[in-house]
Amino acid sequence: MRTHLANTHNIRENSVAKDQVKRQSTLELYHRSRASLGKEQYLKLNRALALALALDMRPLSMVQGIGFRHFCKILNPLYQVPCSSTMKTNILALFEEAKKELIELVAGRNVAITTDLWSSTVSKRGYITITAHFLLDWKYVTRVLATRPLDGSHTAKHIAETLKEIQEEFKIHKLIAMTTDNAKNMENAGCEMNIIHVFCFSHTLQLSVQAGVSHAPIKRALAAARSLVGHFNHSILSTGALKEKQKSIELDDEPGTPKSLIQSVATRWNSDYKMAIRLIELRVSVLAVLYDNKVTKPGMRATLDLENNQWKILEQFGEVMKPFAIATEKLTSESSPTLSQVFIVIKMLITTACKPSDTDECPEIKKMKDCIRKDLTTRYKLDTDGTPKNVKIPALVASFLDPRYTLEI
């Protein structure tokens, strides 16, 4: 990059780095900057920059970048960008201020939390993140309390102790409920906390869908689709040809931007859904590339092309999964509480999306629907028509109290 800038654009690092920016403020420049801007304005700019780094989750090293310092110099020649150590101090100060405000905000309020365990591929450590949910002037508020390392065995006792430490740290005296995934250690941690424990709807729905997707013919069709998409994603020639085929096949007077295939992720069933509907959408273009001998060799084509029945399975799979994808999106919103919607949505999925239909050409799809319906009724303890057997479940009580769904229930 440096060679290109120097040879093509006649821009040399020294011309920017030495004359216009420096990697670290000298004491002389520090005092000159504060004197020129005024101490109050200088500290205000430092605070704004620290806030920008925090909100956008940018690394501290950003302030040492040649391009960033040059940009700041053009914006305000009087402002000398601080070093990363100064920015770290500013960010920690902002954190303490925000933490103090949050402690005052939750004081005396009923607070529910959501928590999840995850691991970092960079640090190779396990972490726990806790988010608080509460009402402020009858408005729903959600705030991330903490993300902490969780070393050692992730036992229920260890998780509960960590949650209690954070509860005490933020002086939450009225912790009323906790939402987690369906892992047994999280369920037991909820018992250790002695509070209402609710399983995450999205995670539960994913488990139920996976029960249907694990049906052998569905599993094989999705595996074949992943292999086909993977071929295109790893072949520059095929990807380029796919874009050209889309342009040539486009029937509209004003062709749109060519689309790319979507690869699924093993841990997210809705990525299978997105992969399937995009593959069906681009089926004509994909087959045109596969059967173009200049792009795809016959031997490779025989390996990649899906069987007719598999194309039918993918097409109907996308149609059946659409309501599940919408339900997942709607009930994972952070803008409003969604607990009261759980049983309404579950009943609709069981009685509508999972109901056998005359349009189900593939028996494999009927089997998938049946597997999902049985798994949902088992996990949520429902009758075959989607009616809950236990009327004291918090989600069902919330539905009764929600005026939007009184008539539905």
- For position 394, what pLDDT does the model report? 83
If we measure between CA atoms, which residue out of 317, 308, 314 comes closest to residue 212? 317
Q: Answer yes or no: are the C-beta atoms of 202 and 182 closer than 8 Å.
A: no
Amino acid code (one letter) for 137: D
- For position 409, what pLDDT does the model report? 45
Write the pLDDT tens digit of every residue in 287-325. Answer: 999 999 999 998 888 899 999 999 999 999 999 999 999
Contacts of 325 (CB under 8 A, 6+ apart): 270, 273, 274
If we measure between CA atoms, which residue out of 187, 204, 183 comes closest to residue 196? 187
- For position 247, what pLDDT does the model report? 84
- For position 7, what pLDDT does the model report? 63
Q: Which long-range contacts (CB under 8 A, 24 or more apart) does 192-196 make?
A: 192/156, 192/157, 192/159, 192/160, 193/160, 193/163, 193/164, 196/394
Residue 257, CA distances (Å) to 55, 243, 246, 247, 253 in order: 32, 9, 9, 8, 13
Residues of the chain with pLDDT under 70: 1-35, 250-256, 360, 406-409
Write the pLDDT tens digit of every residue in 13-32. Answer: 555 444 444 444 555 555 55
Q: List the structure tokens of 350.
A: 């069981």
> Which residues on neighbouring strands pair with residue 113, listed in sequence order?
132, 178
- For position 389, what pLDDT does the model report? 82
Question: 3-state class of 48 per DSSP?
Answer: helix
- For position 282, what pLDDT does the model report? 93
Contacts of 82 (CB under 8 A, 6+ apart): 25, 30, 46, 49, 63, 90
Q: Cα angle vertex 145, ends 144, 150, to 5°?
A: 105
Question: 3-state class of 131 per DSSP?
Answer: strand
